[in-house]
């Protein structure tokens, strides 16, 4: 695999960012886009545009087919059993809200418990908090260990007879810990507990096999997966998606509408009310093709090498403290520097063209637990190289110099 | 862009050893502020005497060098000013941070102006302006006895 070649497929790396070559280490936030994805959006709007599923004219039929093609590609890519288990949403956030909302309407009852973890992104906590307010459910938190991991044992410990649902991240966007989702799912299912997975960080970096993983729902963020913004995917087991009520009402999701009664459409339309992010869905097919052309095994190998390299570099750098040290770790390096606030780190690194993120990364629960207000985070994607991490380290040294460390 | 302008010695020094980072005993005005995007927070305390003059000002909180230095310098120079003077200084400071090339307030002496001008480097860093302004907005809120937390939107 030739990373230089792959990098060339991303037009942004031809740009000078404030006179610097871009060292993009913010892919956990959002990935850059390969040219084929950008071009596909342009091509669709300039040559093929029509709304989908509404009209019988040529363009509408063609657009509908393209839209449905992506659904099939996603199904194959994540090895879902059925095409109708793939629902498009505006992002992973909406996917998780959809799950919480519909389960709240028809499944979860007052007093039921939902188990999440201290690693969760706000979008896998706040939707459940809504149910805590409206339905009086209880939320329990599985706690991280010293390494910033969530173990199967910890999950087991936190399950009570009232636990109805477990909602967990596949890969932490702060500590990088990869959770044993398959084992957790097996355990949960043996106790009749539903499993929801926030797959935002898992989907771009790990091999996805829904039938093997076994979870009931899996939320994907397309913009972190070399795809367009404004798009997410919810995978849901067919039996759930058929059983649960609709989320939003409007055009496209209905079967029959009368003054005194309404019946809803079949899957997948049932969950895709209104005009969807058509161009993004169609372009996302190219993101999947891009990932398939490299091969997920190669992606995983490359990123594992990068993380190991970066981790070693930063461990050797005095006054840099890495957050978490999970055995099974994805491409995220979160750190603090004693005496320099993460925002100052990010501003100083930016001057060298090194783009990282500083803040709580939408994980305030975790930062409270770690007793730090914020952290700096470098995260990798397929286009990163060891040189990028060398530059990161060098810019960190410059930052220390400015702060007289 | 000029990092040196942003991270001047005086800012680093105040950032590292902030003045008045404590809770004023017997304070009679206070307010909290936070920056939801970064998770930074500040709590400003004021003690006004019978003549409505700031006898002591202090703050608690955590944040970047810019926000700590800004709160440090602010709490230092606001002592001895009355509410009207303090508010004029806030206006002057906010104007300078956003667009004005210099400070105009007659309630600031040259030394105070020089110190505050050290923060003018953030102008070039739009995402960091709120770091410099949070404690100032929070101080106004304390004067106005607002109970709601200040949230910075720049
Ligand atoms: C772990 C995790 N969950 C959820 C989200 C939200 O995803 P989206 O931007 O697609 O709504 C993110 C992205 O910030 C994330 O990192």
Let me know whether A281 and A364 are in one domain: no
DSSP line for A50-65:
--SSS--SHHHHHHHH
Search chain B and give the residue with CA nearest A364.
Answer: B39
From the list A343, A348, A402, the residue facing B38 with the nearest CB is: A343
Is residue A33 assigned to a domain? no
Q: Do A360 and B38 touch (CB under 8 A)?
A: yes
Q: In chain A, which residues have their Cβ closer than 8 Å to the Cβ of B1? A: 18, 351
Q: What distance in angstroms lies between residue A197's CA and the mean position of ligand 1's atoms?
A: 12
Residues with beta carbon inside 6 Å of ligand 1? A 91-93, 121, 123-124, 169, 173, 198, 200-201, 221, 232, 362
Count of CB pairs separated by less than 8 Å, A with B: 52
- pLDDT tens string A335-388: 999 999 999 999 999 999 999 999 999 999 999 999 998 999 999 999 999 999
Let me know whether A286 and A387 are in one domain: no
Site of tokens 């799912």: A185
Let me know whether A178 and A52 are in one domain: yes
From the list A342, A373, A402, the residue facing B7 with the nearest CB is: A402
Neighbour tally for B92: CB within 10 Å: 20
Q: What distance in angstroms lies between residue A120's CA and the mean position of ligand 1's atoms?
A: 10
Is residue B111 assigned to a domain? yes
Q: What distance in angstroms lies between residue A136's CA and the mean position of ligand 1's atoms?
A: 26
| Segments forming the whole domain that contains residue B22 | 3-144
Domain boundary among A292, A310, A325: A292
User: Taking residues A252-266, what's their average pLDDT?
Assistant: 94
From the list B1, B63, B65, the residue facing A351 with the nearest CB is: B1
Residue A159 has pLDDT above 50, yes or no: yes
Let me know whether A68 and A215 are in one domain: yes
What is the pLDDT of chain A when averaged over all its residues?
97
User: Taking residues A303-314, what's their average pLDDT?
Assistant: 97
Residues B65-78 as b or e (16 or more Cβ within 10 Å = b): bbbbbbbbbbbebb
The pLDDT, as a whole number, for residue A120 is 98
CA A270 – CA A277 distance, rounded (Å): 16
Q: How many domains does chain A have?
A: 2
From residue B90, how far is each of A176, B41, B140 by CA, in Å? 43, 19, 8
The CATH number assigned to the domain holding A181 equals 3.40.640.10
Distance of CA A10 to the CA centre of its chain: 20
From residue B152, how far is each of A290, B42, B103 by CA, in Å? 41, 11, 22
Q: What distance in angstroms lies between residue A282's CA and the mean position of ligand 1's atoms?
A: 21
What tokens were used for B105?
């307030």
To test ligand 1's pocket by mutation, which of A31, A89, A92 has the most ligand atoms within 8 angstroms of CB? Answer: A92
Let me know whether A215 and A324 are in one domain: no
User: Taking residues A273-288, what's their average pLDDT?
Assistant: 97
Q: Do B39 and A364 touch (CB under 8 A)?
A: yes
Is residue B149 assigned to a domain? no
Is residue B90 assigned to a domain? yes
From the list A351, A364, A373, the residue facing B40 with the nearest CB is: A373
Q: What is the reported pTM? A: 0.94
Angle (nearest 5°) at CA B12 between B11 and B14: 65
Let me know whether A303 and A256 are in one domain: no
CA A52 – CA A284 distance, rounded (Å): 16
Domain boundary among A273, A292, A311: A292
The pLDDT, as a whole number, for residue B154 is 41
Q: Helix, strand or coil for residue B150?
A: strand
CA A273 – CA B46 distance, rounded (Å): 54
Let me know whether A329 and A204 are in one domain: no
Angle (nearest 5°) at CA A218 between A155 and A82: 130
User: Taking residues A176-203, what's their average pLDDT?
Assistant: 98
| Segments forming the whole domain that contains residue A372 | 3-27+295-402
CA A122 – CA A96 distance, rounded (Å): 11
Let me know whether A311 and A267 are in one domain: no
Let me know whether A85 and A232 are in one domain: yes
Residues 6 or more apart whose CB falls under 8 angstroms from that of A378 comprise: A25, A26, A310, A332, A333, A334, A335, A356, A389, A392
The pLDDT, as a whole number, for residue B78 is 96
CA A101 – CA A106 distance, rounded (Å): 9
Is residue A13 assigned to a domain? yes
- pLDDT tens string A115-126: 999 999 999 999
Q: Do B3 and A348 touch (CB under 8 A)?
A: yes
Average pLDDT of adjacent 10-residue blocks, chain B of 154 residues: 82 93 96 82 94 96 92 96 96 94 93 93 88 95 88 62
Q: How many domains does chain B have?
A: 1
Torsional class of A231: left (φ above 0), alpha (ψ -120 to 50), beta (otherwise) = beta
Which has the closest alpha carbon to A333: A295, A387, A375, A300? A375
Q: In chain A, which residues have their Cβ closer than 8 Å to the Cβ of B16? A: 339
Measure the CA dihedral A327/A343/B35/B6, to 10°. 180
Search chain A and give the residue with CA nearest B10.
Answer: A403
Which has the closest alpha carbon to B59: B30, B101, B93? B30
Of the residues B1, B6, B11, B39, the best mutation for testing chain A's interface (the one with the most A CB atoms within 10 Å of its CB) is: B39
Tell me what percent of the residues of chain A surpass a pLDDT of 70: 100
Q: Do A344 and B64 touch (CB under 8 A)?
A: yes
Q: Do A347 and B125 touch (CB under 8 A)?
A: yes
Tell me, yes or no, if A362 is annotated catalytic: yes
Selected catalytic residue, list A200, A215, A222, A362: A362
Distance from the B85 Cα atom to the nearest Cα atom in chain A, whole angstroms: 32
Q: ipTM of this model?
A: 0.88
Site of tokens 């004067």: B143
Domain boundary among A250, A266, A292: A292
User: Taking residues A150-176, what's their average pLDDT?
Assistant: 98
Site of tokens 């998780």: A96
The pLDDT, as a whole number, for residue B41 is 87
By CB atoms closer than 10 A (0-12, 13-18, 19+), residue B7 is: buried
Tell me what percent of the residues of chain A surpass a pLDDT of 90: 97
The CATH number assigned to the domain holding A371 equals 3.90.1150.10
Let me know whether A19 and A140 are in one domain: no
Distance from the B140 Cα atom to the nearest Cα atom in chain A, whole angstroms: 24
């Amino acid at each position: 695999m030739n990373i230089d070649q792959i990098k060339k497929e991303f037009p942004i790396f031809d740009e000078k960012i404030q006179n610097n070559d871009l060292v993009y280490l913010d892919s956990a936030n959002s990935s850059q886009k390969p040219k084929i994805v950008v071009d596909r959006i342009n091509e669709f709007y300039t040559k093929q545009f029509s709304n989908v599923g509404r009209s019988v004219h040529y363009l509408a039929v063609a657009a509908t087919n393209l839209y449905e093609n992506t659904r099939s590609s996603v199904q194959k890519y994540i090895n879902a059993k059925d095409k109708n288990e793939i629902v498009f949403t505006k992002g992973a956030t909406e996917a998780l809200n959809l799950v919480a909302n519909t389960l709240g309407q028809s499944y979860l009852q007052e007093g039921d418990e939902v188990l999440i973890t201290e690693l969760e992104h706000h979008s896998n906590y706040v939707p459940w908090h809504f149910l805590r307010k409206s339905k009086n459910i209880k939320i329990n938190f599985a706690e991280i260990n010293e390494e910033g991991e969530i173990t199967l044992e910890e999950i087991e410990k936190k399950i009570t007879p009232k636990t109805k649902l477990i909602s967990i991240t596949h890969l932490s966007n702060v500590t990088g810990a990869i959770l044993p989702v398959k084992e957790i799912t097996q355990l949960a299912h043996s106790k009749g507990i539903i499993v929801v997975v926030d797959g935002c960080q898992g989907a771009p970096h790990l091999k996805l096999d829904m039938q093997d993983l076994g979870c009931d729902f899996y939320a994907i963020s397309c913009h972190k997966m070399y795809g367009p913004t404004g798009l997410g995917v919810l995978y849901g087991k067919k039996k759930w998606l058929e059983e649960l009520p609709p989320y939003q009402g409007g055009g496209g999701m209905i079967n029959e509408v009368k003054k005194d009664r309404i019946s809803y459409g079949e899957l997948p339309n049932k969950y895709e009310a209104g005009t969807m992010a058509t161009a993004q869905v169609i372009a996302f097919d190219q993101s999947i093709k891009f990932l398939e052309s490299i091969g997920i095994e190669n992606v995983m190998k490359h990123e594992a090498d990068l993380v190991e390299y970066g981790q070693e570099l930063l461990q050797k750098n005095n006054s840099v403290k890495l957050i978490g040290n999970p055995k099974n770790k994805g491409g995220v390096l979160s750190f603090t520097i004693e005496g320099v606030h993460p925002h100052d780190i990010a501003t100083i690194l930016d001057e060298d063209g090194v783009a990282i993120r500083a803040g709580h990364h939408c994980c305030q629960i975790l930062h409270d637990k770690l007793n730090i207000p914020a952290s700096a985070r470098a995260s990798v994607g397929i286009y990163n190289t060891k040189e990028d991490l060398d530059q990161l380290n060098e810019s960190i040294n410059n930052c220390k110099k400015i702060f007289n460390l | 862009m000029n990092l040196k302008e942003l991270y001047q010695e005086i800012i680093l020094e105040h950032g590292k050893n902030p003045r008045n980072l404590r809770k004023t005993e017997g304070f009679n005005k206070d307010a909290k502020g936070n920056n939801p995007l970064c998770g930074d927070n500040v709590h400003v305390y004021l003690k006004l005497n019978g003549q409505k003059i700031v006898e002591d000002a202090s703050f608690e909180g955590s944040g970047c060098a810019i926000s700590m230095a800004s709160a440090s310098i602010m709490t230092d120079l606001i002592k001895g000013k009355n509410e009207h003077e303090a508010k004029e200084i806030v206006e002057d400071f906010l104007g300078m941070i956003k667009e004005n090339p210099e400070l105009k307030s007659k309630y600031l002496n040259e030394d105070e102006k020089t110190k505050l001008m050290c923060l003018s480097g953030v102008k070039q860093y739009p995402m960091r302006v709120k770091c410099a302004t949070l404690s100032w907005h929070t101080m106004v809120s304390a004067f106005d006895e607002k109970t709601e937390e200040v949230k910075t939107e720049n």
